[in-house]
Copies of this chain bind each other. A is one copy, B any other.
Amino acid sequence: MSKPPTISDAEWEVMTILWANSPLTAMEIVSQLAGHKQWSPRTVKSLLNRLVKKRALDYSTRGNRYLYRPRVTRDACVRMESGSFLSRVFGDAVGPMLVQFVQQADLSRDEIEQLEKILREKSNSGEK
């Protein structure tokens, strides 16, 4: 599997929708974005075009519509992005990165407890 292309911020929004649920037509994507983005449908079309050109998306035809679907997995893209961002900012220091993220994240009580539990276990099982 070849490495995924670079996906920009705006493009990421579109991919997110398709990773969650595909294939979808352009209009369906537009509707799903409508909630939290004020993009004109034109804008979304442009993004779709770019993503197809980048080979991040693929489509088939249904009548006169296109049905878009991802050609790259979310996982692969996350790994890529993580690679560049994380290595830039944190180098290979995973610990400080997690500290930073946990500090910033908006966590639910459940998640906090879950994390605390994991940490307790880790600390009992004798980490260095």
Bound Cα distance from A101 to B79, whole angstroms = 9
A112 and B116 form a contact (CB under 8 A) = no
Q: Which label, helix, strand, loop or mixed, suits the secondary structure of the A interface?
A: helix
State which residues 63-110 of A face B: CB under 8 Å.
Answer: 78-79, 81-86, 88-91, 94-96, 98-109
Residue A118 interfacial (CB < 8 Å): yes
- Copies of this chain in the oligomer: 2
Known: A94-B101, A98-B102, A98-B115. 20 other contacts (CB 8 A): A16-B91, A82-B104, A95-B105, A98-B98, A98-B101, A98-B105, A99-B111, A102-B102, A102-B119, A103-B118, A107-B122, A107-B127, A108-B127, A109-B123, A109-B127, A112-B119, A112-B127, A115-B119, A116-B119, A119-B119
18 A-B interface contacts by CB (under 8 A): A9-B88, A12-B88, A12-B89, A81-B85, A82-B89, A82-B101, A94-B101, A95-B107, A95-B108, A98-B105, A99-B114, A102-B102, A103-B118, A107-B127, A112-B127, A113-B123, A115-B115, A115-B119
